[in-house]
Structure formats: C-alpha cells, structure tokens
Amino acid sequence: MSNKQQLRSALEDTNISGSINARSLKKLTVEEQQLIHDLHNEGLVNEAIKFIDSLDTDQEWQLIKKKLNPSKKQEKPLWKSVLRYAAIFIGLLTTAYFVEIGFNTESGTQITEGSIKLKIGRDAVKVIRQGESRQLVSVSGKMVGEQVGDRIHYDPNAEIDELIYNELEIPYGRVFEVELSDGTLVHLNSGTKMRYPVKFLKGQKREVYLEGEAYFKVSKDREHPFIVNAGDVAVEVLGTEFNISSYKEDNDVKTVLVEGSVSMSNSVVPEEKVVLKPGYKGTWNKTAHTTETGEVDVDLYTGWTRGELIFRNSTFENMAKKLERRYNVTIQNNNLLLKDKILNARFNVDIENIEDVLKSINEIQPFNYKVTGKKIVIS
C-alpha cells in the first residue's frame, strides 16, 4: 500500500474536482484505486479524508493498512464490507477497528487495565503513555490540545463552538494531570475518571464530572462558575484550590478546601448548601444523606499530589484501600488484629515500594504476608 499522504492527496483531488483524476491515481495500488472509485460512488470521500487526518501517528496508519489489505486467509479487504454496510466511512471503519480487534488506534497495542485511557467522542479510545509528547485531535480532525509528559493541555483557541466531551481514566498505580481550556489544572489520582469539555463555552457554566479523587486549581472567572459533579454532590467555585474524593466504593464524598471558597450541595436535599472555609473539610455521607464539616490538616488530604501517602489515626482497613489504588495491588487481609489497628504512617511512593510499606507496618503490628504478582495475602 502507498503511504498515507499519497492516498489522501488522491482523495483530496477527487473531493475538489468532484470526479476522479486518473493522474492522481498513478502512484496508488490497484486496490487503492478501486477504493477511491468506491468512496466516490458512495459519496464518502470527505469522510474518508477526515478519518485519515484523525490518525495522529504513522503507527496508526500502519495498523489501518493491515486491515485495508486482505491477507491470504481473507476473501476480500475490510473496506469492501465496510462500504457495503456503512452509512459513513469514518464511523464504521473506526467502530470495526475497535470492536473487531480491541486495539488502540494510536499504536496497535492492546488496551490493558493498566493503561491511561482517553475517550474521544462515543467510541474512540486512545492510550496515553506517560512521558510522551503528542498532539490531540478530535474525531472531526481538529487539533484541540497536546500531551507534554505527564500532562494534557487543552487549547483555549481550538475551533470548537459546541460542547464536546473527553473522558480520562487513570488506572490504579498511576497519577496524571490535565490543564483544561480555561487554564484550570487538575491532578487526577489513581483509579479516577473525569469527564470534561474539550473547550468551555462562553456564557455557560464550567462543569466536569468526577469519579475518584482529584485536586483542582481552578482559574478565576466570575462570569462562569466552575462545578465539579461527583455523584449526588456538586461543588461550585469561582476560582480556588481544593481536593475532592468520590470513589464509588467509599461511603463518603469528601471536599477539602485549601484556599478560596467553595459551596457543597447535593441532589437528595437540594436546599442544603454548605460553604467551606480554607482548612475545612465537608463530608457527604451517601447513606445518611447528611453533610458534616470540620477543620482538618489539609496536608493529609493533598499529600498524594506530591507522591506522599499520609495516615493519621487510620485503621489498617482504610489504609489498605489507598495502598491498593496507589500501588496497583490487591490486599487480602485475614489478620483480624491488624484490620482495626489504628496506625500513623507516612510513605513516599517514589521511594518506598509496597513491600517497604508492609515491612514498616509489620514493625508496629506483626503479621505474615505473601506477595504473588500483584496480590498480597496477609495472615
């Protein structure tokens, strides 16, 4: 198969002239020439160009080439069956690509549980590799931002005039950062999902949806309140710094204010609204449907952004949940004495591995343990 640019050039010539130019087909294979003819007859040339432009790397193109070219075991190439049943080329080709082979369009590698996943639109999922640099392109082919190292930055000047959402999923054992189009910086903790607009629109509230834990540094904009929706709880701010934890398996949604001001409300008791002051925590209980507030040591709730796990008067059972998320392990504790043991500890995930942590706790409350892969059994 020819390179991506040659096929795109032939498609562009066809799209501009409205007819097929034999000269533009010369460098293409017979299969590709037939593909151009079929796309033209089906009225799908423009969609095909958009699809090709949405492929961000040559690795993606290499994988698509394998699917477009028939192997010896195939009776016909994929594009023929796509054209037979598709309403549009781009939609069904990407759907077939994900559903049939379950691969990431970016590199041809299979998406695993340990991957940071960026969902673009309804179906497209890309793997984000920490430490890499790359541009982010929407399904329609528009550049909306870029990844630089361990942060994604969205362009406030992207040519978008409607609400388009991305969803970022951080697996256990990883943390990541997102700079939204308004300049708000979000640190995402392990085991967290956040859904957010690619670009906030003028005249509308800035709303995001969170499951897990995140630390927000919200850019000030009095005309556009910033709202974090975490299940039944909504936290509204104009510009401030705060931490919110809303894991599905936890009984509480916790908001800790670092600076500025936030208000907590909920959909169960809409008239109830709590305003927090810096250094205070608001806790919404999912079962009792009540909100409690109290002064706290902010460092205990924000240390994770610096790689620290800090525990004060915490039972081992509660500690284990955070250790599982941050170290990407499962802990099966069969030691009843250890379960309710109250502990104080401080660990740095960049220095101490999970066995270092277990050894430190073992010095306070003796127990036996066995590590098999990512599973830890305590007895």
Residue 235: CATH number of its domain: 2.60.120.1440
Q: What is the pLDDT of residue 20?
A: 78
Domain boundary among 254, 278, 300: 300
Domain boundary among 66, 101, 136: 101
Per-residue pLDDT band for 60 (boundaries 50, 70, 90) equals: low
Cβ density class 88-110: b for 16+ within 10 Å, e for less: bbbbbbbebbeeeeebbbbeeee
Residues 6+ apart with CB under 8 A from 273: 263, 264, 265
Looking at the structure, tell me whether residues 270 and 337 fall in a common domain.
no
Looking at the structure, tell me whether residues 132 and 270 fall in a common domain.
yes
Looking at the structure, tell me whether residues 258 and 126 fall in a common domain.
yes
Of residues 106 and 225, more confidence is placed in: 225
Instruction: Give the CA angle between residues 335, 340, 345 to the nearest 5°.
Output: 100
Lowest mean pLDDT among 16-30, 148-162, 316-330: 16-30
Q: What is the pLDDT of residue 110?
A: 56
Query: Distance between CA atoms of 117 and 120, rounded to whole angstroms?
Result: 10
* Residue 189 resides in a domain: yes
For residue range 259-273, list pLDDT tens digits in order: 999 999 999 988 889
Per-residue pLDDT band for 102 (boundaries 50, 70, 90) equals: very low
* Residue 19 resides in a domain: yes
Query: Distance between CA atoms of 174 and 150, rounded to whole angstroms?
Result: 10
Both tokens of 183, joined, read 């300049």
Looking at the structure, tell me whether residues 29 and 135 fall in a common domain.
no
* Residue 106 resides in a domain: no
Rg (CA), the chain: 25
Q: What is the pLDDT of residue 343?
A: 92
Number of domains in the chain: 3
Q: Mean pLDDT score of the chain, rounded to an integer?
A: 83
Domain boundary among 254, 272, 300: 300
For the segment 333-357, the average pLDDT, to the nearest whole number, is 93
Contact 49, 91 (CB under 8 A): no
For the segment 238-264, the average pLDDT, to the nearest whole number, is 94
* Residue 208 resides in a domain: yes
Looking at the structure, tell me whether residues 285 and 318 fall in a common domain.
no
Per-residue pLDDT band for 90 (boundaries 50, 70, 90) equals: very low
* Residue 79 resides in a domain: yes
Looking at the structure, tell me whether residues 148 and 274 fall in a common domain.
yes
* Residue 274 resides in a domain: yes
Looking at the structure, tell me whether residues 281 and 313 fall in a common domain.
no
Contact 136, 143 (CB under 8 A): yes
Residue 336: CATH number of its domain: 3.55.50.30
Domain extent at residue 348: 307-378
Looking at the structure, tell me whether residues 164 and 268 fall in a common domain.
yes
Query: Is the pLDDT score of 186 beyond 90?
Result: yes
Both tokens of 213, joined, read 């834990």
Looking at the structure, tell me whether residues 325 and 221 fall in a common domain.
no
Dmax of the chain from CA atoms? 80
Looking at the structure, tell me whether residues 284 and 374 fall in a common domain.
no
Looking at the structure, tell me whether residues 198 and 237 fall in a common domain.
yes
Query: Distance between CA atoms of 212 and 222, rounded to whole angstroms?
Result: 27
* Residue 365 resides in a domain: yes
Looking at the structure, tell me whether residues 83 and 126 fall in a common domain.
no
* Residue 110 resides in a domain: no
